[in-house]
Structure 1
Amino acid sequence: MTDDLRHDTAPSTRRDHGAQQGEPIIDARNVAVDIAVEDGTVNAVRDVSFQLFRGETIAIVGESGSGKSVTARTVMGLLPKRASVGKGATINYNGEDVLKFSERRRRDMRGSRISMIFQEPMSSLNPIYTIGSQIIEAIQTHRRVSRKDAEAETLELLKQVQIPEPEARLKQYPHQLSGGQRQRVMIAMALANKPDVLIADEPTTALDVTVQAQILGLIRDLQLELGMAVILITHDLTVVQHFSDYVYVMSEGVVREHNATRALFADPQHPYTKKLLSSEPSGEANPLPEGSQTILEGRDVRVAFTLKTGTFFKSSYSQLVAVNDLSITLKKHETLGLVGESGSGKTTFGQALLRLIHTDGGTVLFDEKHIEGLSREQLRPLRSRMQVVFQDPFSSLNPRMTIGQIIEEGLIVNNIGSSGKDRNERVRDALVDAGLPGSITHRFPHEFSGGQRQRIAIARAVALEPEFILLDEPTSALDLSVQAQIIELLRKLQSERGLSYLFISHDLKVVRALCHRVCVMQHGKIVEQGPVRDVLENPQTDYTKRLVKAAFEVAA
């Protein structure tokens, strides 16, 4: 380690070490992780040390790519094959160095004594097994429990994490749940065996604001009951301030500063910490040009799903109306926010407007042309004009293709670009616009952090130069400072290219900064709508009031 780096890193021992009783349950020292890539080596983590005591929560914060998740995966023994841990590293769990454990012993430890909630639930849940069978497997893998008892425990876990209709969810598959509901399933699975240490990697990223406090409160209640310790990896500083006892701030694989939460927020010392604490979505949408024409309109749109319950021999069916006769209009240059709790129908409504899923009624017009009855081939010429950025970037990026191929594919399919060289330039420009270096085109999705993958997804959409973009939680995986960059980027693109956005989000702070109007959804219906400032500053319905309070006043 260079002298410059050594002077810019925090001490290896906690500031409050002398005030703690007993030894840390986890004591990590001098952790370094290098990852081999095609053109060299990435120093993902460099000389990181941290201590975690029983019953407390420490938070590891920092921007995407800072090494937060790599540090956590090192504790779990879940690093990729191309990663190597530095020889001087030690990670003591209950006094034993887990880096020296056999693979079998590490496997026994994972999910029982040390458990982890991953950032992207869709890539962590097996798509061919039901939710119930996956949680039951997590229980029976580590404990001798009958199938009947394990199923009863699973049902209770789903109730604890506020899954609606938990009995029905036991028989459903991951794709049948919303992003927030899948994240709650992951939390239930991680807590199934009441671990000593819970590593929560962005545990509330996909959750709406009202459930966020409930989930964090649930984790804290289990801490008190079990003496469980928590490592909270997050970019949400509001959550850190209310739910952590001690904070480690990481940047470029290094711990820059650490301190007790209250002390760090009251008096940050490092310039990077000061930058993080001052980052917050701000500003407002650019004024809408007078006389803007309507580009997208939905009239009485209805979407219903048939749910199957029961057994193979005795099945019963019920209908879930996810979108109940909704109507909206979106003008050119406008950003319309669509907010509500998980399962309210936001994403389903957005996908129905783009004809990505079947509608059971209503009409959809794009640029004054009816598209609800068009075939797949008839829709093809419109696809480059209508783009989408999905909530879970990992599941929407082909893992076998390089970043350059992923972005260029859309250009080729839609005949955009005069030559291969021209397309390559467009790809690089799109990456730079999304806040990424243009030199990453030869790398693969798994080589990037969650936030970086989300920016790649935005670059893919922007490269096609569309007129309308459906943004489904585009900033949910991004840290605060990058959120501000993305908001500014979206404003800039809207101003320069006349883009229109349908912005689906549970982050009302981002909605306030980016949207002109907002629609609030609950149970497949719009319960309130209007100019974003009017709705957020003077909500009329009890439901909207609850959303606003949860977003701007996270309760500990």
Structure 2
Amino acid sequence: MATTETIAPAPEERRDLTTKGARPIIDVRKVAVTFKVEHGTVEAVKDVSFQLYRGETVAIVGESGSGKSVTARSIMGLLSKRATIASHSRIEYDGKDVLKFSARQRRALRGDRISMIFQEPMSSLNPVYTIGSQIIEAIRAHRRVSRRAANERALELLRHVQIPDPEARLNQYPHQLSGGQRQRVMIAMALANDPDVLIADEPTTALDVTVQAQILNLIRKLQKELGMAVILITHDLTVVRQFSDYVYVMQYGEVKEHNTTAALFANPLHTYTRRLLASEPSGAANPLPDNAPIVLDGRDVRVSFMLKKGGFFKPELKELVAVDSLNLHLRRHETLGLVGESGSGKTTFGQALIRLINTDRGEIYFDGQPIHGKDRKAMRPLRSRIQIVFQDPFASLNPRMSVGQIIEEGLIVNGIGQNRQDRLARVEDALVSAGMPANILSRFPHEFSGGQRQRIAIARAIALEPEFILLDEPTSALDLSVQAQIIDLLRKLQDERGLSYLFISHDLKVVRALCHRVVVMQNGKIVEEGPVSEILSNPKTAYTERLVRAAFDVAA
């Protein structure tokens, strides 16, 4: 098979050009984008070329920082003032170079003929305006219609994207909708003026697998009905395989390879493409000894919250049962997956088991010792043995503290280490064990990538030499290749240190690669549990079957 040394640069023209009769709707040639930074310039995109034809889906894939989103934003004219597009670059829409358009012409094109859906709808929707008013604004910005006609069109669009009770949603605010519903609103706004091209920039990254499948199937359905062309930007190769017709692979701002989806997956030519395809979570947990003792035992655990509804003068209190009398046991050296959609109660259950939140009732034993009656002070001696790694390391690492201070803080609080020199040795050992160099103690969290920050968070946890770690969605925000590295790291640490993990996730691919057993939660209840291989290959309930289908076959 060819290597990077022998393979020629990716050609400007598509490999399936001979099968295309018409002119492409979008024709990008040699687009180069630089950004002014404090000490010079950064080349974010380097002479990228690609073509998009009517009615098809082209995927642009690559890791964070590869230049995918910058390429898409240059088509839309949404780059910041610090960005410069090279003079030799050309972006043609329907045969016309949009880079030569005036600001007014670009604005008329944007949201009308070319629309974009962004990764995080909560950042894109205005929190102080209703859903209806924002869709109406998108319509009237490009169409001379009355407010009443725009309102009717907004209602029609919400029905089109299959939002339940669309009449009520028009008068609601973004925070009153779920993540999947907000993304549907973004699609409705993007489709408001029947665009020719829809750019979907990581439209499902933050969503559960079942909601992701719904959103992607909705985009495909609307594409067929309206004849749109779609540019899909993603790092999820399952999505690419199921939904795209042609794929461009980007790394360090360059197109490394492109081909039809079937050909690229069947015979990837570039080393980087092969590495991306091999980055899908793989492998399985090492078998457990039959006599492994139970390290964490939860019995009849219940957690509820009181929700306030109604007005200020006549509030109504309603009980929400987040964890409904559940049992769970975890053995030493075992990884137990806790899975379910958002709102299923999995994080609440995990935090209740390690006494980060109070329970209504139930018994919890750690290493045979009852902890359900212990308050915060009584739990302190056990905290070094019980650690947690959160989903977003940037939020969980103090930005004002150096890496050395962040990891050493836990040692100081728990009285671990004979003196400062001993503590620093432990900090360096933890960093090396987590796959990071020991010479980064004086650097700060913002100086690292997402994967590196997650390794620092893991180093902080293992520095205390715990016996148990609660891992709450530790890989969901990471690229596939970084995900695979973190999975390998967690496996290695478990083998070396005999750790037990409670792994909370909605990504069943990661659960399959890392966990021994899995517990499936829905609406605060356990609907199914058992060995990973059995549950994922032969689910007993319709809910688990739906989760499995959405994770491994997005189009289902």
CA offsets, 1:407-435, max 9 Å, x none?
Answer: 66656665667548964983696378357
Q: 1:360 to 1:547 in 2, by over 3 A?
A: same
TM-score (norm 1): 0.81
Number of paired residues?
544
Pairing 1:238–2:235 present: no
1:224 paired with 2:221, answer no
| 8 Å Cα contact 2:132-2:171 kept in structure 1 | no
Residue 511 of structure 2 is matched in structure 1 by: 511
1:346 match? 346
Looking at structure 2, the residues matched to 169 and 413 of structure 1 have their Cα atoms a distance apart, in angstroms, of 51
Matches within 5 A, 1:94-243: 94=94, 114-119=114-119, 129=127, 133=129, 135-136=131-132, 138-144=134-140, 153=154, 157=158, 160=161, 174=175, 181-182=178-179, 184-194=181-191, 195-243=195-243
Alpha-carbon distance in structure 2 between the residues aligned to 1:435 and 1:232? 33
Aligned partners of 2:67 and 2:252 also within 8 Å: yes
The secondary structure found in structure 2 opposite 1:143 is helix
1-side partners of 2:455 and 2:497: how far apart?
19
Please name the residue that 1:326 is paired with. 326
**Which runs of 5 or more structure 2 residues have no equivalent in the other structure?**
141-145
CA contact (8 A) 1:136 1:147 kept: no
Provide the identity percentage.
63
Distance 1:198 1:311, change over 3 A: farther
Match of 2:434 in 1: 433
Residues 230-379 of structure 1 aligned to structure 2 (within 5 Å): 230-289=230-289, 291-308=291-308, 317-379=317-379
Residues 31 and 302 of structure 1, relative CA distance in 2, 3 Å threshold? farther
- Over residues 329-354 of structure 1, what are the superposed CA-to-partner deviations in whole Å (9 max), with x where a residue is unaligned? 12221100112233322223223333
Q: 1:187 to 1:416 in 2, by over 3 A?
A: farther
Distance in 2 separating the partners of 1:307 and 1:105: 49
Q: More deviation in 208-217 or 401-410?
A: 401-410
Matches within 5 A, 1:514-533: 514-533=514-533
Q: Which residue of 1 aligns with 2:143?
A: none
* Distance of 1:109 and 1:28 partners within structure 2: 16
Q: Secondary structure at the match of 2:512?
A: helix
Using a 3 Å threshold, how does the CA distance of structure 1 residues 437 and 52 change in structure 2: closer, same or farther? farther
Mapped partners of 1:321, 1:49: distance in 2: 53
Distance 2:432 2:39 in 1: 19
Question: How far off is 1:237 after superposition?
Answer: 1.8
Q: Take 1:410 and 1:49, find their aligned partners in 2: how far apart are those partners?
A: 50
Q: Per-residue displacement from partner, 1:263-287 (whole Å, max 9, x unpaired)?
A: 2223322232233334432221123
- In structure 1, what is the equivalent of residue 490 of structure 2? 490
Give secondary structure in 2 for the equivalent of 1:333. coil
SS at match of 1:72: helix
The whole-number CA distance in structure 2 between the counterparts of 1:393 and 1:280 is: 22
1:531 and 1:53 map into 2 onto residues whose CA distance is: 46
Asked if 1 retains the 8 angstrom alpha-carbon contact of 2:132 and 2:169, the reply is: no
Partner residue of 1:24?
24
Q: Cα offset for 1:68?
A: 2.6
Letter of the 1:44 partner, please give it: A
Q: CA deviation at 1:122?
A: 6.5
CA distance in structure 1 between the partners assigned to 2:149 and 2:547 by the alignment = 38
Q: Distance in 2 between matches of 1:259 and 1:388?
A: 43
Q: What value does the CA root-mean-square deviation take over the aligned residues?
A: 4.3
TM-score by length of 2: 0.81
Summarize deviations over 1:50-107 as a string: whole Å, max 9, x none. 2223332111122343333343344445556665544443434455555566778767
Change (3 A) 1:430 1:253: farther
In structure 1, C-alpha distance between the alignment counterparts of 2:44 and 2:441, rounded to whole Å: 16
SS of the aligned residue for 1:192 comes to helix
Q: Secondary structure at the match of 1:59?
A: strand
**Whole-Å separation in 2 of the counterparts to 1:425 and 1:83:** 44
Q: Tell me, yes or no, if the aligned pair for 2:161 and 2:184 is still in contact at 8 Å.
A: no
1:185 partner amino acid: R
CA contact (8 A) 2:364 2:370 kept: yes
| SS at structure 2 position matched to 1:391 | coil
Q: Would the alpha carbon gap of residues 401 and 120 (structure 1) be closer, same or farther in structure 2, given more than 3 Å must change? A: farther
Instruction: Call closer, same or farther: CA 1:444–1:186 in 2, change over 3 Å.
Output: farther
With 112-121 and 236-245 compared, the bigger mean Cα shift is at 112-121
Name the residue aligned to 2:478: 478
2: CA distance, partners of 1:360 / 1:154: 43
Bigger shift: 264-273 or 154-163? 154-163
Shift, 1:328, TM fit: 0.7
Describe the SS at the equivalent of 1:9: coil
Once residues 362 and 225 of structure 1 are traced to their aligned partners in structure 2, the CA distance between those partners, rounded to angstroms, is 53
Query: What secondary structure is seen at the aligned counterpart in 1 of 2:330?
Result: strand
- 1:213 & 1:157 partners in 2: Cα distance? 18
Distance 2:232 2:327 in 1: 40
Q: Structure 1 residues 546, 90: CA separation in 2 closer, same or farther (over 3 Å shift)?
A: same
CA contact (8 A) 1:451 1:477 kept: no
Tell me the secondary structure at the aligned position of residue 30 of structure 2.
strand
Compared CA separation, residues 447 and 537, structure 1 to 2 (3 A): closer
Change over 3 Å in CA distance of 1:407–1:87 after alignment to 2: farther
Residue identity opposite 2:499 in structure 1:
L
**Structure 2 CA distance for aligned equivalents of residues 193 and 259 of structure 1:** 28
CA contact (8 A) 1:411 1:463 kept: yes
Q: Is the 8 A contact 1:345 1:523 kept in 2?
A: yes
Structure-2 residue corresponding to 1:47:
47
Is the aligned partner of 1:389 residue 2:386? Answer: no
Specify every segment of 5 or more residues in structure 1 that has no aligned partner in the other structure, as ranges: none
Q: For residues 114-138 of structure 1, what are the alpha-carbon distances to aligned partners after superposition, in whole Å with 9 as ceiling and x for unaligned?
A: 4444445676677xx48xx464453
